[in-house]
């Protein structure tokens, strides 16, 4: 099996080893799926179970470095035969960790730059687009409040009627009522200040749907005790998303009994538990991104880790 890695199959121009050595580059869902399949292909060889504890680590690293940099022809001509096998074995063991590293680094880039950063930029653009709509209303309300603040120096004899007369000199009651209604419509008083970028993030659900299952099922994750509920919620996502809609749980929602609401952060709670949702359900897309964001945060802190990885392994091990 190891020797087959340096053979060039019929109809191909490069060896299987050359294909496996190429990591993903583009931060796309397609590239992340390919990166996960690369992990499965390397792990399928079973070399990760080989015990190399008796071999000095530096020797394994030197052999793996040669296997990662040499072309297939040079490796085929390596003598003696035992050294050729040792080089390929060390390379395959290294590749299992490297493939996992590459996939998780790509996931980190996608979450940070493609999903979260773009959602925040989209939210900022939306705020700028709304500015002309609320600037006039805000100016009217500011003028009315300025009169109220000045009234503090008028003494205790100021009546409500007098106060409204002074406010009416700068803005009418009808204008104030309209301005309050407009601002409440655009920015409700109980709205989450981060709700806008989270709502923008939810529009990227089709992008996430492409890689979610293969990502969760291919990489073997572990977690600390505190992060175990988040990891369990992440592992359950693919099956939850494939459940058909029912009369009780319409499309776009999940059965609240099948999800872990304890992992829902306060920032996501209003979106996951929307007021207009059917009873006994949660908003599916919001829950997916809530779990995905929580998993990403804990992965960066290594509370969730991949045992086969080197960069993303458990630092406590």
Which of 277, 275, 242, 274 shows the shortest CA–CA distance to 258?
242
Predicted confidence (pLDDT) at residue 306 exceeds the cutoff of 90: yes
Residue with tokens 């804990």: 298
pLDDT at 7: 86
Bridge partners (DSSP) listed for residue 221: 306
pLDDT at 136: 80
Helix (H) or strand (E) holding 42: helix 29-43
| pLDDT band at residue 140 under the 50/70/90 scheme | confident
User: What does DSSP assign to residue 111?
Assistant: I
| pLDDT band at residue 125 under the 50/70/90 scheme | low
Task: Count Cβ neighbours within 10 Å for each residue of 112-150 and write b for 16 or more, e otherwise.
Answer: eebbbeebbebbeeeeeeeeeebeebeebbeebeebeee
pLDDT at 130: 60
Task: Count Cβ neighbours within 10 Å for each residue of 177-210 and write b for 16 or more, e otherwise.
Answer: eebeebbeeeeeeeebeebbbbbbbbebeeebee
Could you list the beta-strand ranges (E) of 169-231. Answer: 221-223
Question: CA angle, corner 58, sides to 56 and 61, nearest 5?
Answer: 115
Q: pLDDT tens-digit profile of 143-195?
A: 888 888 888 777 766 778 877 888 888 888 888 888 888 777 666 555 555 56
pLDDT at 189: 55
Q: Summarize the confidence of residues 277-289 as an average pLDDT.
A: 94
Q: pLDDT tens-digit profile of 249-281?
A: 999 999 999 999 999 998 898 899 988 899 999
Please tell me the distance from the alpha carbon of residue 44 to that of residue 18, in angstroms, as a whole number.
Answer: 17
* Through-space distance between the first and last CA atoms of the chain, rounded to whole angstroms: 31
pLDDT at 72: 85
Q: pLDDT tens-digit profile of 219-237?
A: 999 999 999 999 999 999 9
Please tell me the distance from the alpha carbon of residue 272 to that of residue 284, in angstroms, as a whole number.
Answer: 7
Percentage with pLDDT > 70 across the chain: 91
């Amino acid at each position: 099996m190891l020797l087959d890695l340096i053979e060039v199959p019929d109809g191909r121009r490069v060896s299987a080893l050359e294909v496996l050595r190429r990591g993903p580059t583009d931060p796309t869902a397609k590239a992340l799926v390919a990166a996960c399949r690369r992990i499965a292909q390397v792990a399928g060889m079973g070399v990760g179970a080989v015990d190399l504890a008796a071999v000095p680590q530096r020797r394994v690293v030197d052999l793996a470095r040669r296997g990662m940099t040499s072309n297939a022809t040079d490796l085929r001509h390596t003598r003696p035969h035992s050294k050729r096998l040792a080089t390929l074995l060390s390379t395959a063991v290294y590749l299992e960790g490297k493939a996992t590293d590459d996939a998780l680094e790509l996931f980190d880039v996608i979450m940070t730059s493609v999903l979260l950063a773009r959602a925040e930029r989209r939210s900022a653009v939306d705020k700028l687009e709304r500015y002309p709509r609320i600037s006039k209303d805000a100016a009217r309300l500011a003028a009315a409040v300025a009169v109220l603040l000045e009234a503090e120096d008028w003494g205790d004899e100021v009546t409500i009627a007098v106060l409204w007369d002074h406010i009416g000199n700068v803005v009418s009651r009808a204008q104030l009522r309209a301005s309050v209604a407009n601002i409440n419509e655009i920015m409700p008083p109980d709205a989450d200040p981060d709700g806008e970028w989270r709502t923008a993030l939810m529009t990227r659900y089709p992008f996430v749907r492409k890689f979610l299952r293969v990502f969760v099922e291919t990489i073997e994750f572990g977690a600390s005790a505190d992060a175990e509920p988040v990891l369990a919620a992440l592992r359950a996502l693919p099956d939850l998303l494939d459940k058909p809609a029912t009369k009780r749980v319409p499309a776009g929602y999940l059965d609240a009994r099948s999800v872990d609401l304890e992992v829902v952060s306060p920032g996501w709670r209003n979106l996951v538990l929307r007021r207009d949702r059917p009873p006994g359900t949660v908003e599916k897309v919001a829950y997916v991104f809530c779990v995905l964001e929580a998993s990403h945060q804990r992965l960066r802190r290594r509370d969730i880790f991949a045992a086969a990885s080197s960069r993303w392994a458990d630092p406590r091990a």
